[in-house]
Amino acid sequence: MNVVVTGLGTTSPLGGDVPSTWEAALAGRSGVRTLDNDWGETYGVPVTFAGQLAVPTSEVLRKPEMRRMDPSAQMAIVAAREAWADAGAPEVDPDRLGSVVSSGIGGVWTLLTAWDTVKERGADRVLPLTVPMLMPNSPTAYVSLEFTARAGSHSPVSACASGAEAIGMGFEMIQSGRADMVICGGTEAAIHPLPISAFASMQALSKNNDDPAGASRPYDVKRDGFVMGEGSGVVVLESEEHARARGARIRARVLGLGMTADAHHIAAPEPNGVGQTRAMQFALERAGLTPADVAHVNAHATSTPVGDMIEARGIRSLLGAHADQVLLSATKSMTGHLLGGAGALESVFTIKALEERTAPPTINVDEPDPELQVDLVRDTPRALPEGQIAAINNSFGFGGHNVALVFGTV
Amino acid sequence: MALSQDEVLAGLAEIVNEETDIDTAEVTLEKSFTDDLDIDSLSMMTIVTLAEEKFDVRIPDEKVKDLVTVGDAVSFITDAQA
C-alpha cells in the first residue's frame, strides 16, 4: 500500500502556519529569543531564552478552546486544522480516519499550574478538566474529536522522537489497512521553569543567554547544548489510492520507516551510533532504496557537543562516499528543539524541501566541526536535484529511541 | 457586601461565556444548563468551581444536581452570600 502526504500544518517559533514557517526557514531566520519573564531572577532558572511560538495560540483559538486544552493540545489543534484544510478538508468515512499526535512531555503546564492551585487555594479549587488536559494523549484525543477520527487515536511517547514515531505509526496504520487517512504529528509546550531547570540540570541546554539567536548551532565547533522550542507539526497521510480517487494534491510520498532502540543509557546516545544508523538503514531498506537515492537529510542535530557528531558519523557510514552529494540541514538551528514536536515539524520541512527541491539552511555555523563529512547547507538554501529523489528525517529521544523516516518526491 | 441578583447573573453569564462561548445574553434565569444551554457535566462542574471562586461561596457537590436552571444557581449564590 503506497502512502502519500496530502496535508501539512504547523505552528512554530518561525511562524503560525506552514507558508510563514517555511519562508522564515529559507531566509535563515532564528525563532529563538530572550523570554519575556522573570524566571531567571525569581527562581534562578539558568537559561533565559527559548523558541516560543511566533503566533500565540490565543490569537487563533476561541476562549473556551484555550480554557479546555493544555497549550500542547492547543498547538496541535492549530497545526491539525491547517493540515486538514491543506488536504482539502474532505468528507471521509470516520471509521477509516485515524489520529496519531504525540507529545514528549505532556500537559506539563496544566499539571504544575493545578499543583500551584492546590498549594495556594486548596484542593477544591482544582478544575474538573485538569486530568483530560494534562494527559499526554490529550492532543490526539482532541484531534480525533475535532475531525471525528474513529479508526484509532494514538500517542506513542518516545521523548524527542515522539513526533516522528507518531508519523511512523500513521504510516503503518495505512499500510496495514486500518485507515485510509491519518492525521499525525507531534506537539510540545514545555517552556516552563521546571522543564528548563531540569534540562539545564543535566547539562543538555545551551546557556548562551547573551546571544539567544546564535545559541542553537548544530555542527559548529562552539555548540554547547540544545535550545528549548515549542510548537507542533502535523501531516495528513493517506493511501495513494484514496488520495487519487478524490483528486487530492499529493505533496510527497512516505517511503520508509526505521525504528530501533539503543538499550545503552537512559539519556546518553550510544557513542558509536549503531542504533541510529540501523534505523536509517532499515528505513531505506523498507523503502527499497539505496544510498544513491538519498539527496537530503534533515538531521536530528540538536546542537549538543556529543550528539551531533554521532549522528553525522552514522550518516557518513551509511551513505559512504555518496554523503558528499547529500545536502544536510539542521533546522533546529532556527526553531530550537521542539522535543515531541521536533520530528513532526522537521518532517514538514523535509516534505517541503522535496516538493520545492530546496534544502533549508543551517544557521550559526561559523566554524563547522572538522570531523563533519556530509555536505552541510549553511546560511542560504540550496537546490536539490531533479528526478525521483528521497530524503531522510532523523529523530532520536532520551531513552535510546531512534526513528528514521524516508520521504520521496511524487 | 452581597451582590444583587442581576450582578450575580451577569457574573455567572461571564463564566458560562468563557467556558462555552455561549453569548452572555443567552444566559437568562429560566434557561436550563443542560437542556437549553447544552452544558455537559464536566463543564457544569467547572462553572461551579469558577463561581465558587468568583462569588466567594461554597456550593456542595451534592447541591449541584439541584441547580437545574440559571435562576436556581443565581438564587443559591445570592442566598449563600447573604
A190-215 pLDDT per residue, tens: 999 999 999 999 999 999 999 999 99
Contacts of A201 by beta carbon, 8 Å cutoff, 6+ apart: none
Q: Quick check: A38 pLDDT over 90?
A: yes
CATH label of the domain that carries residue B46: 1.10.1200.10
Tell me which chain B residues have a C-beta less than 8 angstroms from the C-beta of A127: 46, 49-50
Is A160 one of the catalytic residues?
Answer: yes
Q: How far apart are CA A176 and CA A168, in angstroms?
A: 12
A125 interface with B at CB cutoff 8 Å: yes
Lowest-pLDDT range of A89-103, A342-356, B55-69: B55-69
- Tally the domains of chain B: 1
Q: What is the mean pLDDT of chain B?
A: 94
Residues paired with A233 in a beta bridge: A10, A186
Q: How far apart are CA A259 and CA A393, in angstroms?
A: 12
pLDDT at B82: 77
In this structure, is the dihedral angle defined by the CA atoms of residues A239, A136, A128 and A65, taken in order, positive or negative?
A: negative
Domains in chain A, ordered, with CATH?
3-245 (3.40.47.10), 255-408 (3.40.47.10)
CB count within 10 Å of CB A235 equals 33
Tell me which chain A residues have a C-beta less than 8 angstroms from the C-beta of B53: 121, 125
Give the mean model confidence (pLDDT) for residues B64-73: 96
Is A184 one of the catalytic residues?
Answer: no
Percent over 90 (pLDDT), chain A: 100
Contacts of A340 by beta carbon, 8 Å cutoff, 6+ apart: A102, A103, A104, A105, A157, A159, A160, A162, A163, A186, A187, A188
CB within 8 Å: B21 and A127: no
CB within 8 Å: A62 and B20: no
The DSSP code sequence of B17-72 is HHHH---GGG--TT-BTTTTT---HHHHHHHHHHHHHHHT----HHHHTT--BHHH
Mutation target to probe the A interface, by most A beta carbons within 10 A, among B15, B46, B63, B64 is: B46
Q: How far apart are CA A201 and CA A331, in angstroms?
A: 25
CB within 8 Å: B42 and A64: no
Q: What is the pTM of this model?
A: 0.96
Give the mean model confidence (pLDDT) for residues A65-90: 98
Position B55: which residue type?
A: F
Chain B interface with A: residues with Cβ < 8 Å: 17-21, 42, 45-46, 49-50, 52-53
Instruction: Name which of B17, B18, B42 is nearest A128 (Cβ-Cβ).
Output: B42
Residue A7 to chain B, least CA–CA distance (Å): 29
Write out pLDDT tens, residues A297-309: 999 999 999 999 9
CB within 8 Å: B46 and A125: no
Tell me which chain B residues have a C-beta less than 8 angstroms from the C-beta of A129: 42, 46
Tell me which chain A residues have a C-beta less than 8 angstroms from the C-beta of B46: 127-129
Domain of residue B52 covers: 5-81
In this predicted complex, what is the ipTM? 0.85
Is the Cβ–Cβ distance between A286 and A315 less than 8 Å?
no
Which contacts (CB < 8 Å, 24+ apart) does range B52-59 have? B52/A124, B52/A125, B53/A121, B53/A125, B54/B11, B54/B15, B55/B3, B55/B8, B55/B11, B55/B80, B55/B81, B56/B81, B57/B81
CB within 8 Å: A128 and B21: no
Q: How far apart are CA A178 and CA A52, in angstroms?
A: 36
